[in-house]
Amino acid sequence: MPSIPQTYTVSDFIEWQAKKQLVLAPEFQRGSVWSPSAKVFLIDTILNDLPMPQVYFRTKLNPQSQTTVREVVDGQQRLRAILEFASGSFKLTSKSPNFKGKTYRDLSVEDQEQFLTYRIPVVQLVNASDAEVLEVFARLNSYSVKVTPAELRHAEFSEPVKWAIYEAARQWSVLWGELKVVSTRDTVRLKHTTLIAEMFIALDRGLGDGGEAQITRYYKAKKSEEDDYFVPFREHLDEVIAEILEHTKNDFAESTFFDAPNFLILFAAVAFLKGYMPASKVSEGVNQFAARGVSWDRASVNLATLAQAFDDASDEQGPHSQFVTATKSTTHRISSRKVRFEAVVKAIAADVAGA
Question: Rounded to an integer, what distance in angstroms lies between the CA atom of residue 148 and that of residue 221?
Answer: 20
Positive or negative CA dihedral for 14, 120, 76, 74? positive
Q: Which residues have a Cβ under 8 Å from the Cβ of 56 and sit 6 or more positions away?
A: 72, 73, 74, 75, 122, 123, 125, 136
Q: How confident is the model at residue 43 (pLDDT cuts 50, 70, 90)?
A: very high
Chain centroid to Cα 227, Å, comes to: 16
Distance from C-alpha of 168 to C-alpha of 172, rounded to nearest angstrom: 6
Distance CA 175, CA 68 (A): 49
Cβ contact 93:100 at 8 Å = yes
Give the model confidence (pLDDT) of 4-39 as tens digits.
678 999 999 999 999 998 888 755 555 557 788 889
Tens digit of pLDDT for each residue in 93-138? Answer: 988 889 999 999 999 999 999 999 999 999 888 887 877 777 776 6
Question: Band of the pLDDT at 339, cuts 50, 70, 90?
Answer: very high
Give the per-residue pLDDT at 141: 60
pLDDT at 352: 67
> Is the predicted pLDDT of residue 246 greater than 90, yes or no?
yes
The predicted structure's pLDDT at residue 32: 56
Per-residue burial over 330-352, b = 16 or more CB atoms within 10 Å of its CB, e = otherwise: ebbeeebbbbbbbbbbbbbbbeb
Instruction: Label residue 88 left, alpha or beta by phi (over 0 means left) and psi (-120 to 50 means alpha).
Output: left
Backbone dihedral region of 7: left (phi > 0), alpha (psi from -120 to 50 degrees) or beta?
Answer: beta
What tens digit of pLDDT does each residue of 251-298 get?
A: 999 999 999 999 999 999 999 999 999 999 999 999 999 999 999 999
Element (H, E) at 68: strand 67-74
Task: Look at residue 57 in the predicted model and tell me its pLDDT.
Answer: 85
10 Å Cβ neighbour count for 243?
Answer: 16
